[in-house]
Amino acid sequence: MVKERLKLETEVQDIFNLIDDEKNFLLSGGAGSGKTYSLVSVIRQVIEENPSVQVACMTYTNAAVKEIEERVNHKNLNVSTIHDFLWDNIKHFQKELKKALVSLANDIEVSKISIKDINPVPENYFDNLDDGIQYKEFLRMRDGIISHDELLILANYLFSSHPKLSSIVKDKYKFIFIDEYQDTNKYVVEIFLNHFKKSSKKNIIGFFGDAMQAIYPEGIGSLAAYKEDDLIDEIKKEQNRRNPQKVIDLANKLRTDGINQIPSSDLKAPNMDSGVVKQGTVLFLHSNTDNVESVREYLVKNHDWDFKEAKETKELNLTHNLIADKAGFENLMSVYDKDLVLKFRDRIRDYIKKHDIDLDFSESTFGEVIEILQNGKTGRDLKAVSPTKGMKDFIANNTELYNYAKTLNYLELSKVYFTKDQLLDDKKQDEEDKSKKGAKRDSLIKHLFKIQQNISLYQNKKYNEFLKVTDFRFQITSIKSKRVLKENIEHLIDVGEKTIDEVINDANIKGICLIDDKLKDFQEKNVYLYNRVKNIKFSEFQKLFEYLEGKTPFSTQHKTKGAEFDNVLVILDNGKWNNYNFENLFLEAGSPTVLDRSQKIFYVCCTRAKENLAVFFNNPSQEVISKAKEWFGVENVVNI
């Protein structure tokens, strides 16, 4: 054995034994067992032993990217997302890409890839594209632009049909490591474990993860079948280095695969204190109101928690919607995510499509289309072309919006499309998180960010940085102009009750943040959305800014995977998302898939705590309380 390896953890030494035997491997282990830590050790050792080879590592969690960058930092290591890795390796084979896309589009079994109204797609369909096949955030198959889902299908097809492609990638990367394998798409696993086999070149694929933490439905979940087929050898980590004893005990009860963790014997492990494992605290708090503010107060008063320490104390909610109310950006969230007028439009559109209604609506308003359908003499089902109960309630509360939508050209309104990603993409876990740039945010939100960045830098007295970002920098020619800048920014900061539209104009007139072409273009092309956002108070956007910049203690439960914090408050409220059911989590009842999903997200949440864990359940039944007593201990179940 290479001498230096002796200093490594035993599991990492076991991995190197498999590498020596040219075997692909899987490192699995419960939460906090140190898989990310081992991944970094493996990468470092591989580079040490093979200084001339390239290593690829794919990971999704912020925590892992940060840890890898800090601890490895080597030019031979390429850290990326799986999508970027695949695209980088196939994008130069344009001829093959075009041919493959046409085949997939014409394959009736592949429903995700098709070109509307073109069937079959001719062989030379993509031959004259200026930029060839491209991979982007959005899909426009007609123009040869694919997005995330299509990329995986396409890459899988190419690697399956071109063993040479596997040889090229294997030559380029002698080692490929995939973190959080459980949430990796099955197409990706197939590429690396099945299609790669078709090339006789040598390389090593290593997976790291935990089946109990599979929280995304598109993920493979488990690699058990690959293990059975001998395509991969498993090494298990059993110790826990993160969580205090009480959290480990709880987590062991929550695991559904019988894996029982023990605290590590490593005296330097984070969960050790002077040679003994920390005890920590676990609490199950409940009350008959859903007022989480009182839960926070209870923890502050009785357990010394400090929610202002956003880096170390987190409140985990299932959805951004649940957070929006608490963090104060509920109107913005509701515009981007809960527009039931647009949902009604979808209902009408789907009806027209489903029933092949062949009327020319090109000159009709949305209101006219509704009327035509509702008064149709063709025996149409009136219910199917009317708003649902939820839509009716929404319309009753938003009559102005509904009346406005009814005046819009139906075809134009049909094109209106936006998602909450345009508002919320890439939330930072904490303020120091540098990797998040909000790629999917729309131009309006990006512009508002720019304005608020100006304000925030000036308010925090970061004058040099402020001078670098403000558009006013081009106007600074004299002492007098500096004084004008001071007056202008101080005027802008005082947003008071001003609307978003007013602040955009103010920032423009005062020269702090100019209305640029991107914003103008957005305003022209997204009249419906802009009209809705513009009247919301700018102070509400400021709340969103704080949330996205990681300055609040709030996080969604999914986004905390891989991370760890001293104090963790988990809110068990499914926010009417029926993919999850926390009552049934405790009763171990209900639909098996919903139960499984709820068990896994709850396991992920609880195991983030390095010191103290609190779980809040609003108005639990007696059965839930009994189970909570079993899991948390009688003395830790508290009615606040």
What CA–CA distance (Å, rounded) separates 29 from 26? Answer: 10
Nearer to ligand ATP, 274 or 622 (CB): 274
As measured in angstroms, the least distance from the Cβ of 242 to ligand ATP is 4
Restricting to residues 606-625, name those near ligand ATP by CB under 6 A.
Answer: 607
What CA–CA distance (Å, rounded) separates 218 from 118? Answer: 28
As measured in angstroms, the least distance from the Cβ of 338 to ligand ATP is 32
Task: Answer yes or no whether residue 36 interacts with ligand ATP by CB under 6 A.
Answer: yes
As measured in angstroms, the least distance from the Cβ of 53 to ligand ATP is 24
Task: Answer yes or no whether residue 367 interacts with ligand ATP by CB under 6 A.
Answer: no
As measured in angstroms, the least distance from the Cβ of 37 to ligand ATP is 3
By CB under 6 A, name the one of 16, 24, 28, 35 that touches ligand ATP.
35
As measured in angstroms, the least distance from the Cβ of 34 to ligand ATP is 3
As measured in angstroms, the least distance from the Cβ of 268 to ligand ATP is 6
As measured in angstroms, the least distance from the Cβ of 16 to ligand ATP is 15
Task: Answer yes or no whether residue 31 interacts with ligand ATP by CB under 6 A.
Answer: yes
Quick one: which segment of 267-275, 281-289, 470-478, 490-498 binds ligand ATP (CB under 6 A)? 267-275
The helix (run of H) or strand (run of E) holding residue 234 is strand 233-237
Of 266, 312, 259, the residue nearest 610 (C-alpha): 312
Nearer to ligand ATP, 242 or 420 (CB): 242
Nearer to ligand ATP, 37 or 216 (CB): 37
Nearer to ligand ATP, 11 or 573 (CB): 11
What is the per-residue binding string for ligand ATP in 541-580, x denoting contact by CB under 6 A? Answer: ---------------------x-x----------------
- Confirm if 71 and 92 have CB atoms less than 8 A apart: no
What CA–CA distance (Å, rounded) separates 467 from 485? Answer: 10
Task: Answer yes or no whether residue 244 interacts with ligand ATP by CB under 6 A.
Answer: no
Tokens of 409: 């050209």
Of 138, 141, 148, the residue nearest 126 (C-alpha): 141
Residue nearest to ligand ATP (CB): 34
Largest CA distance in the chain: 86
As measured in angstroms, the least distance from the Cβ of 9 to ligand ATP is 5
Tokens of 264: 């590590």
What CA–CA distance (Å, rounded) separates 238 from 28? Answer: 9
H helices, E strands: number in the chain: 29, 18
The helix (run of H) or strand (run of E) holding residue 209 is strand 204-209
Nearer to ligand ATP, 180 or 190 (CB): 180
Tokens of 407: 């005046």
By CB under 6 A, name the one of 241, 296, 537, 600 that touches ligand ATP.
241
Tokens of 38: 């081992």
Quick one: which segment of 13-21, 32-40, 298-306, 531-539 binds ligand ATP (CB under 6 A)? 32-40
What CA–CA distance (Å, rounded) separates 243 from 262? Answer: 10
What CA–CA distance (Å, rounded) separates 194 from 467? Answer: 54
By CB under 6 A, name the one of 132, 163, 270, 575 that touches ligand ATP.
270
As measured in angstroms, the least distance from the Cβ of 213 to ligand ATP is 6
Task: Answer yes or no whether residue 29 interacts with ligand ATP by CB under 6 A.
Answer: yes
Q: How many CA atoms lie within 13 A of 481 on its CB side?
A: 10
Show binding-site residues for ATP. Answer: 29-36
As measured in angstroms, the least distance from the Cβ of 618 to ligand ATP is 27
317, amino acid identity: N
By CB under 6 A, name the one of 150, 183, 210, 573 that touches ligand ATP.
210
By CB under 6 A, name the one of 33, 319, 542, 560 that touches ligand ATP.
33
What CA–CA distance (Å, rounded) separates 554 from 318? Answer: 10
Task: Answer yes or no whether residue 581 interacts with ligand ATP by CB under 6 A.
Answer: no
Task: Answer yes or no whether residue 278 interacts with ligand ATP by CB under 6 A.
Answer: no
By CB under 6 A, name the one of 14, 17, 23, 37 that touches ligand ATP.
37
Nearer to ligand ATP, 243 or 319 (CB): 243
Peptide bond into 270 cis (omega under 30): no
Of 247, 208, 260, 281, the residue nearest 38 (C-alpha): 208
Nearer to ligand ATP, 31 or 370 (CB): 31
Task: Answer yes or no whether residue 43 interacts with ligand ATP by CB under 6 A.
Answer: no
What CA–CA distance (Å, rounded) separates 58 from 272? Answer: 30
What CA–CA distance (Å, rounded) separates 575 from 601? Answer: 15
Exposed / middle / buried, residue 350 (Cβ in 10 Å: 0-12, 13-18, 19+): exposed
Nearer to ligand ATP, 221 or 367 (CB): 221
Exposed / middle / buried, residue 136 (Cβ in 10 Å: 0-12, 13-18, 19+): exposed
Quick one: which segment of 14-22, 34-42, 121-129, 331-339 binds ligand ATP (CB under 6 A)? 34-42
- Confirm if 115 and 126 have CB atoms less than 8 A apart: no
Pairing relation of β-strands 609-618 and 233-237?
Answer: unpaired
First to last CA, the chain: 58
Say how many residues touch ligand ATP, by CB under 6 A. 20
As measured in angstroms, the least distance from the Cβ of 278 to ligand ATP is 13
Task: Answer yes or no whether residue 242 interacts with ligand ATP by CB under 6 A.
Answer: yes
Q: How far is CA 26 from CA 106, 186, 297, in A?
A: 37, 15, 44
Pairing relation of β-strands 145-146 and 134-135?
Answer: parallel
Nearer to ligand ATP, 53 or 272 (CB): 272
**Residues in touch with ligand ATP (CB under 6 A):** 9, 29, 31-37, 210, 213, 241-242, 266, 268-270, 562, 564, 607
